[in-house]
Structure 1
Amino acid sequence: MHSETAYEITTIPLQPSPTHGAMLPHEIPPGVQLVTLPGGIRTLAYTQPPAVPAPQPIPVAAPIPTWAKTTALLTPTIGGGVAAAGIGLSYAAPGLIAMSQALWAAVALIAAGAIALPLLLGIGRRSTGRAAPARITQNITATGLFGKATGTINHH
């Protein structure tokens, strides 16, 4: 077990005596106070200074990041743009519907023309009263791999 050395506390009498003089209150150094011990003896002792709470730090406002400022400034602009586009589309809706119907009508006309035009041209050629077109036959003959080719054309 651990043994501690006992120290004897000696006190300075506060009453004047032939060997010791009494200390006046202004002579007591800082951090030393007059204390009364449990046995009733009054003495000077070092005391702990009262704990002074640390001052609360003053909150400092953090600077706002640049991206946050930019986003905050652009938000109303973007919202206003979307609102203006919505209003514009609502005013333009009847015209857009009419244009889409006109475009579909144009597509249908082009498709009908692509189908009808060859039919009309075929009917128009037959109805002119001409004779059937002449038949042309061609006979080509050649002798050998690199021989000269000769041919005849017959009109019927």
Structure 2
Amino acid sequence: MPYEPTRTSTTPPVRYGDPILHPTAVRQPVMMPAELPPGVEMVTLPGGYRTLAYTHPAASAPAPAAVVQPVPTWAKTTALLAPTVGGGIAAAGFGISYAAPGLIAMTEALWAAIALIAAGTLAPLLLRAGRGAGGRGAAPVPHVTQHISASGMFGRATGTINHR
């Protein structure tokens, strides 16, 4: 029956993305241009499809070259002194560790010298106080004067001693 009459279709044309006709199609939310974050733009792909994409920022002016500032003098001084002071402290500790036995002996000798000086200072006072306790009173202290004279640089010296 090749000669049958044809019927015209009364169905509307298919629109893809229509949520009523195609409920499985995903509808993308539409963003206003003011809502786009920086670096994102609306682009048109070669197939005619429009989408959001990250774009490279426009070439900005190069940043000004950093100005090299000189190192402050106090920083240089501190940097140079730090190893010197540390080395000096290390050397002092090393020397003290070797000198410790000698320092101990010197300390004992110093205490002995202090005891000798104290005994030499206190002995006459104690002896004089002991002599006065015998009832004779304190012994008289002799007064000695000495006169020496010499003539010339290589002359012979003569002198007299007076006991009073």
TM above 0.5: no
**TM-score under structure 1 normalisation?**
0.40
Q: Which has the higher contact order (CA 8 A, sep 6+)?
A: 1
